[in-house]
Structure 1
Amino acid sequence: MVRRELPKHQRDLIVEKYQSGEGFKRISKVLNVPWNTVKTVIINWRKYGTTETLPRTGRLSKNYEKMRRKLVREASKRPTATLKELQEYLASTGCVLHVTTISHIHHLNGLWGRVARRKHFLTKKNLQARLKFAKACGKMCYGLMKPRLKFFAKGMFGATKKTNTTHHPKNTIPTVKHGGGSIMLWGCFSSAGTRALVRVEGIMNSSKYKAILAQNLQASVRKLKMKFTFQHDNDPKHKSKSTKAWLHQKKINVLEWHIQNPDLNLIEHLWGDLKRAVHQRCPRNLTDLERFCKEEWANIATSRCAILIDSYPK
């Protein structure tokens, strides 16, 4: 069992109650502190006249400060290294430390173990494009379309980092788009509510994507009776020459979207609502899943859509 030293303010309170005439058992009961701990605090106070933590016997190794700097430097350089890996690194340099001591040194130097966030891998070209996009579109109009619903599992990876450095590239796990699900959907919405939601059969290519836009996008737009901006990501079928030509021919205003940009499409919130609602209905097969998705999509409140749209500056 790990025994922790009482905080100074609690030791001061014990002494204060003792001076007011209360006995050890009474103090123990009131402060919920073991009787023998109360006794030890009083004995030390009588002997040394203070409740401060006194220096303990022994001294730090002459090389302790050198080891500490070496450990902090290595942990900052390799934030995803485990305590065991850092221990092995120190052992290879002739320094022997227990993993608990390594963890303690981390905490004293403001380093804390956390689960690393997963973020898209960004090249220098991606970073420059993001910055250019942010400057050009500081206040964006709302997005309209987003084409898929998929599920996949993620593993847990740790990182040793300082506070407020969660999204620093060294402390994240770079990812690329992959995986998939058992059903793919295309949907759209506006401030007037949800619009078409269709299931995509098989593998979607540029021709199938244009067919979906022709059958569903234009029908949804006619009901909007307002100007709109069409948003989709940089999937190859979205950026193909034939798709671009079709959108240009139909005079559809498309929001420019750079590679590896963060997904700021408001429809992502509705996908989350849809997933939770469908999950509660426990579909037994793909037919149920498709039917529940369409029913719950139609049941999403218009006010919910309007609030999302209003959250974007015009």
Structure 2
Amino acid sequence: MGSRCVKFGVIALILTGHWKFNMAPHGKELSEDLKKRIVALHKDGLGYKKIAKTLKLSCSTVAKTIQRFNWTGSTQNRPRHGRPKKLSARAQRHIQRLSLGNRRMSAASIAAEVEGVGGQPVSAQTIRRTLHQIGLHGCRPRRKPLLKMMHKKACKQFAEDKQTKDMDYWNHVLWSDETKINLFGSDGVKRVWRQPGEEYKDKCVLPTVKHGGGSVMVWGCMSAAGTGELQFIEGTMNANMYCDILKQSMIPSLRRLGRRAVFQHDNDPKHTSKTTTALLKKLRVKVMDWPSMSPDLNPIEHLWGILKRKLEECKVSNIHQLRDVVMEEWKRTPVATCEALVNSMPKRVKAVLENDGGHTKY
């Protein structure tokens, strides 16, 4: 009766958390060379204590190593048998087919599907672990424009026409585009490195404002020779405003590239309007035929990204300061940066061909 009460008391202490086990920590496994040295010293007649002192190990480690050698005749560990896999090879193939068939299918949905087919309950964590073993990991999808078949065909045709062009041709192209630059924050997802309890530190939060924020729209151009003109856009840009930008900012930048210069802009309705087309024809500007929905091919897109990352390091509090900093950083852009971006054009064209007109890493 007394022993039974003691057992119940011990169980109660364990369940309530008042009983703590002092588990010995697991040390690192000894290397094969070290195990062989222990056995060799023991064969030479040294005792456990002397071996432990010589190799700076504990006596228990030395004793276990020698005892294992005496039992098995080897210093290598015996094969270890872990817990058997819960999922069969057939179930794993089914999981792989489901995940590859629908890349946006969650682990919980796959688990429910597997359980519905085989009747075996499976957790979402088991699904994730299985997918990790075959090289599939949950990642944030890249943001890319929606490409229809007509867009892919146009991009592929452009790449086929330009794949024989050398760097002398690309060096005479004036690339242009518009972009929005925010005063606070950004349109993308930001991440920070932080430790537990640092959620509200100044360095770990993304500041927002209720009033006084805003953004600026800019038009810019670049070539292998460096950045061209940059102009701020007031209000909503229409074809007439775009024509003014072309006359005031594009033409001076284009003339610096000489007679062989080619002007590039996308197929925005303002760029392809009758007013804009007539102006470019009057000014005798060679315009590159550009496929729709193809930002991967335009190196100025990467220049905007470089500019915005630089602006994140600058502390500005209003639109006027933002304009000054944008213009200053734009003019400060090294020529080598623009040259490197333009030098990537043959690789961009090749990537489009390899992906049959689809998305590329650019």
Which residue of structure 2 lines up, in the alignment, with residue 87 of structure 1? 111
* SS of match in other structure, 1:132: helix
* SS of match in other structure, 2:139: strand
- Mapping 1:70-85, distance limit 5 Å: 70-85=94-109
Quote the offset at 1:285 in angstroms.
Answer: 0.5
Q: For 1:288, which of 315, 318, 321 is the aligned residue?
A: 321
**Which segment drifts farther, 206-215 or 91-100?**
91-100
Quote the offset at 1:39 in angstroms.
Answer: 7.0
Change (3 A) 1:287 1:311: same
Which residue of structure 2 lines up, in the alignment, with residue 160 of structure 1? none
Quote the offset at 1:223 in angstroms.
Answer: 4.5
* SS of match in other structure, 2:329: helix
* SS of match in other structure, 2:296: coil
Which residue of structure 1 lines up, in the alignment, with residue 146 of structure 2? 121
* SS of match in other structure, 1:184: strand
Quote the offset at 1:185 in angstroms.
Answer: 0.7
Q: Report if the CA contact (8 A) 1:28-1:38 is conserved.
A: no
* SS of match in other structure, 1:183: strand
- Mapping 1:6-155, distance limit 5 Å: 12-21=32-41, 46-49=70-73, 51=76, 54=79, 56=81, 64-93=88-117, 94-138=119-163, 139=165, 141=170, 142-150=173-181, 151-154=186-189
- Mapping 1:194-209, distance limit 5 Å: 194-209=227-242
Q: Distance in 1 between matches of 2:274 and 2:54?
A: 81
Change (3 A) 1:135 1:70: same
Which residue of structure 1 lines up, in the alignment, with residue 10 of structure 2? none
Q: Given the two structures, how large is their TM-score scaled by the length of structure 1?
A: 0.72
Q: Given the two structures, how large is their TM-score scaled by the length of structure 2?
A: 0.64
Quote the offset at 1:152 in angstroms.
Answer: 0.9
Quote the offset at 1:213 in angstroms.
Answer: 1.0
Q: Distance in 2 between matches of 1:5 and 1:90?
A: 39
Unaligned ranges ≥5, structure 2? 1-22, 43-47, 192-213, 347-362
Quote the offset at 1:198 in angstroms.
Answer: 1.1
* SS of match in other structure, 1:118: coil
Quote the offset at 1:303 in angstroms.
Answer: 4.9
Q: For 1:261, which of 294, 297, 302 is the aligned residue?
A: 294
In the comparison of the two structures, how many residue pairs are matched? 282
Q: Distance in 1 between matches of 2:254 and 2:243?
A: 15
Quote the offset at 1:296 in angstroms.
Answer: 2.4
Q: Distance in 2 between matches of 1:36 and 1:102?
A: 41
- Mapping 1:101-250, distance limit 5 Å: 101-138=126-163, 139=165, 141=170, 142-150=173-181, 151-154=186-189, 182-250=215-283
Unaligned ranges ≥5, structure 1? 157-180
Amino acid at match of 1:146: D
Change (3 A) 1:194 1:237: same
Which residue of structure 2 lines up, in the alignment, with residue 161 of structure 1? none
**Which segment drifts farther, 291-300 or 147-156?**
147-156
Which residue of structure 1 lines up, in the alignment, with residue 13 of structure 2? none
Amino acid at match of 2:147: L
Q: Report if the CA contact (8 A) 1:149-1:271 is conserved.
A: no
Change (3 A) 1:193 1:99: closer
Q: Report if the CA contact (8 A) 1:149-1:185 is conserved.
A: yes
Quote the offset at 1:199 in angstroms.
Answer: 0.6
Amino acid at match of 1:145: S
Q: Which has the larger radius of gyration?
A: 2
Aligned-pair identity in percent equals 29
* CA RMSD, Structure 1 to Structure 2 (Å): 3.7
* SS of match in other structure, 1:144: strand
Quote the offset at 1:37 in angstroms.
Answer: 7.8
Change (3 A) 1:58 1:215: closer
Q: Report if the CA contact (8 A) 1:143-1:266 is conserved.
A: no
Q: Distance in 2 between matches of 1:90 and 1:244?
A: 59
Q: Distance in 2 between matches of 1:101 and 1:193?
A: 53
